[in-house]
Amino acid sequence: MKKRLLSAFMAGIMGVMLAACGGADSASDVASISEDTPATPTAGEPSEGSYSEDVQAIIDRGVLRVGVKNAVVGFGYEDPLTGEYSGMEIELAKELADKLGVEVEFTAVTAATRTELLDSGDIDCVLATFTITDERKESWDFTTPYYTDYVSVLVEDASGIKTLSDIVGTTVGVSSGSTSAKSLVKAMIEEGLISGDGFDEESFDPATWTEGVSFQQYDDYPTISTALSAGEVDAFCVDKSILAIYKTEGRFYIEAEFAPQDYGIATTKGSGLSEVAEELVKEDLGDGTIDTLISENGLD
């Protein structure tokens, strides 16, 4: 009887010891998982360290600051009553912010201010009908184009201007910092309407050009439209999609479209955001999102 009690007692002791050993192993495993296995990031949130320093700074800030147009219907337009932004480029900006898991903040820019704000760090990128050129690519990064437009000229019906040849001897309103004036002069040279003596694409300056056509520069498009109505300029030249909002009753486009304009997202040269933006545009081009945005915003 004593032997049986002793055996039972020893078996109980062994069971407790084995359970204790098993518990220690389990605790050790949990500790190992906790210390060595990185936590899985929440869906939609980028993991720490997965982006470059400049992109991580945007994520830490929680806001992507984007320079956009506020008076170009279809691309970037701010409702004067509600303050709400709409347009293709607005939607692309929102997508880019979503990709980083942050909010988006819009800053209205013009052709003259967009690069200044980008260079100063006041904005992180530009989505503002920004035409890609070789010269500009020396200073900023651009994504693959998400839209291609053409330059045209808007005039008043009463002006009598109908073709490029009628532009000779006139004053044309353009936006400061844009490529429209240079594109118009180049088109007139190619058509043989002006000689083009002294024309150099790299050094061209609308403020000093006088051969065959002269230019008046303005800070924004509404001001050019007002100048056209007031007779301060004879024509309004810029990308046709931008001109569309100003083609009101009593105005029309001349019979000419020239200088294809490829729009891309502009970012600081060499920045990590350049890679993220490029990835987004390529994805949207590949899955049809870009085509949908073009159609939904009346840009086709």
Domains: count for the chain = 2
Domain co-membership, 162 together with 247? yes
The reply to whether 278 and 291 lie within a common domain is: yes
Q: What does the pLDDT profile of the chain (300 residues) look like in tens digits?
A: 434 434 444 444 444 343 444 443 433 333 333 334 333 333 344 444 588 999 999 999 999 999 999 989 999 999 999 999 999 999 999 999 999 999 999 999 998 899 999 999 999 999 999 999 999 999 999 999 999 999 999 999 999 999 999 999 999 999 998 899 999 999 999 999 999 899 998 899 999 999 999 999 999 999 999 999 999 999 999 999 899 989 999 999 999 999 999 999 999 999 999 999 999 999 999 999 999 999 999 998
Q: Which domain CATH number covers 108?
A: 3.40.190.10
Q: Is 240 in the same domain as 137?
A: no
Q: Considering the entire predicted model, what is its pTM?
A: 0.75
Does residue 283 belong to any structural domain of this protein?
Answer: yes
Same domain, 132 and 229: no
Full residue range of the structural domain in which residue 105 is found:
55-146+264-297
Q: Are 277 and 178 in the same domain?
A: no
Residues 142 and 268 in one domain: yes
Q: Write the secondary structure of the chain as one string of H (helix), E (strand) and C (coil).
A: CHHHHHHHHHHHHHHHHHHHHHHHHHHHHHHHHHHHCCCCCCCCCCCCCCCCHHHHHHHHHCEEEEEECCEECCCEEECCCCCCEECHHHHHHHHHHHHHCCEEEEEECCCCCHHHHHHHCCCCEEECCCECCHHHHCCEEECCCCEEEEEEEEEEHHHCCCCHHHHCCCEEEEECCCCHHHHHHHHHHHCCCCCCCCCCCCCCCCCCCCCCCEEEEECCHHHHHHHHHHCCCCEEEEEHHHHHHHCCCCEEECCCCEEEEEECCEEECCCHHHHHHHHHHHHHHHHCHHHHHHHHCCCC
Confirm whether 252 is domain-assigned.
yes
Same domain, 215 and 156: yes
Residue 62, in any domain of the structure: yes
Same domain, 102 and 234: no
Q: Is residue 38 part of a domain?
A: no
